[in-house]
Structure 1
Amino acid sequence: MKAGREAILAEIRKRIVGQQEVVEQVLLSLFVGGNSLLVGVPGLAKTLLIRTVSDVLDLEFSRIQFTPDLMPSDITGTDLIQEDPTTGRRRMVFEKGPIFSNIVLADEINRTPPKTQAALLEAMQEHRVTVQGTTYTLDEPFYVFATQNPIELEGTYPLPEAQLDRFMFEIEIHHLSEEEELQVVRATTGIQTADFQSTVTGADLLAFQRLVRSIPVPDAVLRYAVGLVRGSRPSKSGTAPEFVKKWIAYGASVRAAQYLVLGAKARALTLGRYTPSFDDVRALAHPVLRHRILTNFHAESEGRTSSEMVDELLNHVKAPASGM
């Protein structure tokens, strides 16, 4: 699995410059079998990165441009009436939508109404879709990567909390350094050729996902991950930290703890270790928790962000003394 990660990284670097942490989190999503939300301003190669990953892995890729007039059937597919040329009889035939791919890019997912956004929910969670009462199973491996522009919010529809919770990571993409940006401009203003070698296949990814779930986790690391998640919730009993009671409206769900542990397992394996540590959990706390912590009016009025709440949690919740 470590060799597979290094092979994928080497191929991705043929086209993608910098963004080391972003690429790492995308790969962890692949190894765990999770979906991820990429957040960044236009022009930071969000779409290019996901397309490159699908090219490197030789997986079927589809891109859905989310717009206000997009309908659920435009994503899942629909039943059509077709005439059999031999018999002349008409029958209903299911025409598959773009969701029937291995990697689906939901571009600018917040530009379509909640009804259409919800068309992704069953696919993301169950890896299947239901149309006109008939359920269709999606091919494995299956991933949804969604993009979102954080600055242009006019005419957008915020993602419901239930849908946000189904994304393993919220991956923030920032501008490159000056040298990396020079490298991008130099490469993209000339003739580009990138021949990828698909050394890791979809079957390998499924094997990696099974491997991740099979390795043991020290009880102390498990308790630490759960402690971080539980610590983010305002408690009616008054036991929550003061900053949680003051600034957080709703904390993270149990799904956050599951993804913290699975992500920590995958991170340990890709770094050549057989069991996750506290550091693996800490390294993934921000991408796992920041989109699951909802700040209240007091936090917004004081300019406090969910990322700062995660920093506070990491400072407040101590690792069990008997751990690693």
Structure 2
Amino acid sequence: MPHIMFTQGPLAGQRIEVPESGLVFGRSAEANVVLNDLQVSGRHAELKLEDGTWCLFDLQSSNGTTVNGHSIDAVQLANGDVIAIGDSQFLFQDDGAPAEAPPAADSGAALHQPESAGQPSTETPQQPVETAAPEPEMPEPPSEPEPQPQPPPPDREPRPETAGPFIQTPEPPLTVEATEEDLELVHQMSKLTDAIRSEVGKVIVGQREVLDQVLMCMLANGHALLVGLPGLAKTLTVSTIARVLDLKFKRVQFTPDLMPTDIIGADVLETNKETGEKEFRFIKGPIFCNLLLADEINRTPPKTQAALLEAMQEKRVTAGNTTYTLDKPFFVLATQNPIEQEGTYPLPEAQQDRFMFMIWVDYPSAEEEEKIIGATTAGAQTEPRRILSKEQLLQLQSVVRKIPVSEHVIKYVVRLVRATRYQYEDAPEVTKKYVSYGAGPRASQSLVLAAKARAVLEGRIHVSCNDIRKSALPVMRHRIGTNFAADSEGLKTADIIRRLLETVPEPGEDAYVEPKVEAKPARKKK
């Protein structure tokens, strides 16, 4: 059975067997392996079996997870891999897994000698852990693991030295391949997407672009900010999508007196009917759902906004001394009214960046408005039917992460995002003239994920530069700032993004020449 051996951190010297169900590492009490470290998120990383191979997944942690010194999102583990989470470091050991590079084989064998005592490894007695000369005791491998954790002091000095060979010969992170079931679901998505549009269309007239962008954001496991005037069916659209996708839906109307406990929940003192003693009971707030509509988020104070945005980032909330993990999947669709800004608390740019998409909800066309009047002033509306389940939605989110992206597409994303930064000498003229600040690396990540999600919605498993262009507006609309020159000419960020899409070309053959000397242009002197 595979196991992990801690070499650094609060659990140094401990060995933990890995069950077939896998392990979740984190700081919360709900994790299988609790790491009492402020650098560790509540649900930090997960070790689980995928198609017969042990894989490690970073669960969108705050400080990341490293394998052999490299940050990872998802990676297939090999025997002897060194994993670091916060201040803790441990080795993954599995006799059935492929071994690491030959230079690291000696150290790895010494660290899991009790599991492979029958293998020829004469160098292992030099490790301090092997005090009982385990080589001759081949008939007793089950009894060996028990004495190993007993002498922790000798363990802690040589362990950091043995980790060196692994870090010096790192392997590039491997992507987890999609299963046949995943591919079958992707091939069906083209028909399923049409069915979703049809069911939502029973309630909502038009707004197809808004629906597609919301679905893209959901598949990419992001959150969206919907901006539109009152009466454009933003709330009705979100609630209808929740019914079609079988999601638990909650709505919170943000007001100036709204408190964080009104969203998260609170501990209530009550009397136990059986014992008669008083005790605290946690009453969950509306955030414990799958799809939360934060209506007019800019009308509540920053304290309440921060509580919601933290839950969006960590996918968990803390009440008192207890951490609660939010339901999966979890999405936040927040709305803003672009008019009546008096008495509001506009979201700062740093908090707007937490939203993957900013979706603009515009007026319907004349034909659509006629249909709206006819449908809403007549009899009862048709109830939409469910098309996707929560389990299928979670599976699609996993598939989006597994879809590969070519180097050509990644280079185009980098070119497009860097073109929004006026500091570079090779920035387009429209950027130097009208942009006050450009998009950050999170925009690049969101562009790639959005393009992957768009490909899945259309039943494809490949991503093109056209997918990037179709995703650019909702991804970068709220990540670019305009200066006075743009405001005086009436230019919006959407206008600048459209000009950049026309200006920035796809990478040519010269982009693949190594080395690329002009990779970092000098900053403009002021």
Q: TM-score, normalised by structure 2?
A: 0.59
Structure 2 partner of 1:300:
487
Q: Deviations over 1:7-35 (max 9, x none)?
A: 21121111111111111111111211111
Amino acid of the residue matched to residue 175 of structure 1? Y
Q: Secondary structure of 2:356's partner?
A: strand
Structure 2 partner of 1:253:
440
Which of 193, 209, 219 lines up with 2:381 in the alignment? Answer: 193
Amino acid of the residue matched to residue 433 of structure 2? K
Residues 318, 324 of structure 2: 8 Å contact kept: yes
Which of 459, 466, 472 lines up with 1:285 in the alignment? Answer: 472
Residues 439, 476 of structure 2: 8 Å contact kept: yes
Summarize the alignment of residues 41-80 of structure 1 with structure 2, pairs less than 5 Å apart: 41-80=229-268
Q: Give 4+ residue runs of structure 1 displaced > 6 Å after superposition.
A: none
**For this pair of structures, how many residues does the alignment match?**
322
Which of 419, 437, 450 lines up with 1:231 in the alignment? Answer: 419
What percent of counterpart residues are identical? 54
> Tell me, which stretches of 5 or more residues in structure 1 are unaligned?
none
Alpha-carbon deviation of 1:313? Answer: 1.8
Amino acid of the residue matched to residue 402 of structure 2? S
Structure 2 partner of 1:265:
452
Alignment partners' CA distance in 2, 1:249 and 1:131: 40
Alignment partners' CA distance in 1, 2:249 and 2:409: 36
Amino acid of the residue matched to residue 269 of structure 1? V
Residues 243, 385 of structure 2: 8 Å contact kept: no
Q: Which moved more, 1:100-109 or 1:155-164?
A: 155-164
Matching of residue 117 in structure 1 with residue 291 in structure 2: no
- The one of the two structures with greater contact order (alpha-carbon pairs below 8 A, sep at least 6) is 1
> Tell me, which stretches of 5 or more residues in structure 2 are unaligned?
1-188, 512-526
Residues 240, 384 of structure 2: 8 Å contact kept: no
Structure-2 change in CA distance of 1:245 and 1:133 (3 Å): farther
Residues 203, 384 of structure 2: 8 Å contact kept: no
Q: Secondary structure of 2:380's partner?
A: coil
Which of 305, 316, 336 lines up with 1:148 in the alignment? Answer: 336
Q: Which moved more, 1:101-110 or 1:314-323?
A: 314-323
Structure 2 partner of 1:208:
396
Alpha-carbon deviation of 1:294? Answer: 1.4
Alignment partners' CA distance in 2, 1:162 and 1:2: 35
Residues 114, 160 of structure 1: 8 Å contact kept: no
Alignment partners' CA distance in 2, 1:14 and 1:311: 32
Q: Deviations over 1:184-208 (max 9, x none)?
A: 1111111123233213101111101
Amino acid of the residue matched to residue 439 of structure 2? A
The structure where helix makes up a greater share of residues is: 1
Residues 39, 148 of structure 1: 8 Å contact kept: yes
Q: Which moved more, 1:309-318 or 1:71-80?
A: 309-318
Q: Deviations over 1:73-93 (max 9, x none)?
A: 111111111111121211122
Matching of residue 99 in structure 1 with residue 287 in structure 2: yes
Alpha-carbon deviation of 1:238? Answer: 3.6
Residues 5, 27 of structure 1: 8 Å contact kept: no
Residues 11, 197 of structure 1: 8 Å contact kept: yes
